[in-house]
Structure 1
C-alpha cells in the first residue's frame, strides 16, 4: 500500500470495531495512529483548518497497528479496516479533461454503447480528433476554430463541447460517505457489459475552495450505459462500490504541493481471475485544464460546499486493446483486481464485483453524527 520510503504527511480513516465507527488516522513509522479528537472528529474538520499539515503532524494519538497488516483485513464491521479518506465532503468529478480519453467518450457516443462498433468508429474519427486536439487549450480561440471545423465534418459531440469548450464537465460522483477505500470491492451495475477502471488524482478541497491535499481514485466507468445517453450519467456513476478513493489523503506541506499533483504519473494494473493483465497510465501533465481551474469551476460564488469536497480530476486512460472478442476492446470481469499507484501517493487496490453483490451502503451522515455524539466527540 505504502512504499517504505514514501514519506509525506497522510490523513485517512479506519473502521474501528471497538466503537463501531470510523476513526481519523495518520501514518507514523509504518503504523496507523488514531488522532480522532473533539477538536477534529472528522477528516472534514482537519481540511477546514488553516494548516491541516501542522495539526496532523503534532496531534497526539494511539497506535492501532501496522498499516500494511490492517490494510489486508476484510472490510467487515468486526475488524479494523481502511475506509475512504473523506467523510462529510461532497464527492465531485470532472470528465473529459484529457484529449485521448475525450476521443473515447466521443466513440462511446457514436457507438451508442455498442463495443462491437467502436473499432470502426475509432478508425474513422480517432486520427482527426486526436491529432487536432492534442495541444488545444480548452476554451481558447484555437479551440473555437477546431469546434467549427468539427461541426463542418459532422463530428461535433457534447463530449467535445466540455473537452475543449469554456465550461468543464463537473458532476456528482457519489453520495457523502458512500465511497469505498483500499481493499474494498468496487461495483459494476449488472446492466453494464462494457466498462473499465478510471485511475485519477482526487483533490481534497476546503469549503473556501482551498486545495489542501490529494489522493487517488477509481471513477468506475460504465461505457455502454453512459454511451447510450449522457442522461444516464447518474445511473452509470453512482452505485454500490462505484467510487473508490485512497489509500489516504496526502496533505500539502513543504514536501508536497499542487505542482507535484500537476506532474503526477499514475500507473494502473488490472489482473484478471483468468491471468489476464492490463497495464495503463495517466499523466497529469497532459490534462487540458489546470486543477485550480477545475476547482474554480466547481466551488465559488455560484456554488458553495460547507463541508468542502473531494474532486476527481479525470483520466488520460481509455483502454482499447481487446480482452476477449476481437474488435470489442477491454471490459472488466468479476474478480479483477485493480491497482492504481503514483509516486508519493501510494496504491489504491480494489476487487471488481457487481454493485448488487457489494456490501450495501448503510452508514450515512446521520449514522456518523449519532456515532460521534455517542463517543462524546461532538
Structure 2
C-alpha cells in the first residue's frame, strides 16, 4: 500500500510531497526538489518503466523521516494530497442518493430516477483550486441555505489521459434545500466558498487495490456527541470508475491532477442539517480519515 501526503514545511518554507509509511512521513521533495506533487512522480515512473512500489523505494532509500503524520495534522500542515486545479463530481450513483434527491424534490419519476437508470451519468463541476479546503480546515455553510449536509465520496485522482493515479476521500458539501427547490439550481447548491475538501492522503493505484471491497463511514460530531453516523460498501456504487471517467472526458479536456468525486451512498435523515461547530469525519481504513470542522457562512 503506497500512500503520499502533501504538506507545508516551515523549515524550508515550501510545499513537500511525502511518502507515508508506518505513521512516519518521508520527504520526497528533499531528494528531488521538483517533486512537490504526485503527477510529476507518476509520469517519471512511467517514463522509467518503474512500478509504483519500486519507484518510491528508490526515492526514499536512505531518507530519514521528516515528521510523524500525527504531528503534521496537529500543526495544520497537511495540504490537499494533489494540487488539483479542478474538482468534478458524479451524482446519483447510489440508490440512497436517488432516494434522498427524490425526497428533496417530492416528485415521482423525477430527473433523479431517470439519471440513475440512464446510460449517461450525472457529471457536474464542483470546485476550483481556490474553493478547496485542506484537511483539518473548516468547510463553510451557505448563508442562504437552511438544509446542508456533507456528502462523503471516494474520489479519483486523474491524469489528462484519464488514468487513475490513485484514490482519496472527498467531502462534497451540499445544500439540499436549494437543489430540491429546482434541479437547475444545482450549481448554487454545490459550488460556493469553502464547499469542498479532499484528502488526507493519496492512495496510489498499484493494480493490487480492490475498491469494491472497501467500506466508507461518515461520522458527524456535535458538542462531543455523535449526531449522525452511517456507512456504505463501495459494492453499492452503480457505475464503474472507468465509465465515470469516460463521460467526464467526453469533449471535455481534463487537467493533470483533476479530482473526480464518485457520488455518495450515505445521506443523513431529512430532519438533519449541519451547524457551525460540527465536525465531519469521512473514514476509509485504506486511506485514513478526512476531518473538517464546519464554520458559519462568511460574514456571520
Residue in 1 aligned with 2:70?
Answer: 68
C-alpha distance after superposition, 1:115-174 (max 9, x if no partner): xxxxxxxxxxxxxxxxxxxxxxxxxxxxxxxxxxxxxxx722222222111111111111
Structure 2 Cα separation of the partners of residues 248 and 199 of structure 1 = 15
In structure 2, the CA distance between the partners of 1:67 and 1:276, relative to structure 1 (3 Å rule), is: closer
1:58 alignment partner in structure 2:
58
Change (3 A) 1:355 1:10: farther
Question: For residue 244 of structure 2, what is the aligned residue in structure 1?
Answer: 294
Name the structure 2 match of 1:44.
39
Please state whether the residue corresponding to 1:63 is helix, strand or coil.
coil
Distance 2:228 2:287 in 1: 21
User: Any idea what the Cα deviations from partners look like across 1:170-224, whole Å, max 9, x if unmatched?
Assistant: 1111102542232111111121111111111011111111112111111112101
Identify which of 76, 88, 104 aligns with 2:100. Answer: 104
Q: Which is greater in Rg?
A: 1
Q: Which structure has more helix as a fraction of its residues? A: 1
User: Counting strand residues as a fraction of each chain, which structure ranks higher?
Assistant: 2
* Whole-angstrom distance in 2 between the partners of 1:169 and 1:160: 11
How far apart, in 1, do the equivalents of 2:225 and 2:95 lie?
Answer: 31
Counterpart among 205, 211, 215 of residue 265 in structure 1: 215
Deviation of 1:41 (Å): 3.3
TM-score by length of 2: 0.89
The Cα of 1:72 is off from its aligned counterpart by: 1.7
| Correspondence for 2:6 | 13
CA distance in 2, matches of 1:270, 1:55: 38
Q: Is the 8 A contact 1:209 1:308 kept in 2?
A: no
Match of 1:27 in 2: 20
Equivalent of 1:207 in 146, 160, 169: 160
Tell me what 2:150 maps to. Answer: 197
Runs of 4+ in 1 over 4 A off after TM superposition: none
Matched, 1:285 2:235: yes
Return closer, same or farther for 1:357/1:22 CA change in 2, 3 Å cut-off: farther
Quick check: 1:206–1:309 contact (8 Å CA) kept in 2? yes
Deviations 1:276-324 (A, max 9, x none): 5311112211111111111111125x2222424111010111221xxxx
Q: Distance in 1 between matches of 2:295 and 2:247?
A: 33
The 1:339–1:297 alpha-carbon spacing in structure 2 relative to 1, beyond 3 Å, is same
Pairing 1:340–2:282 present: yes
Offset at 1:69?
A: 1.8
Pairwise CA RMSD of aligned residues?
2.2
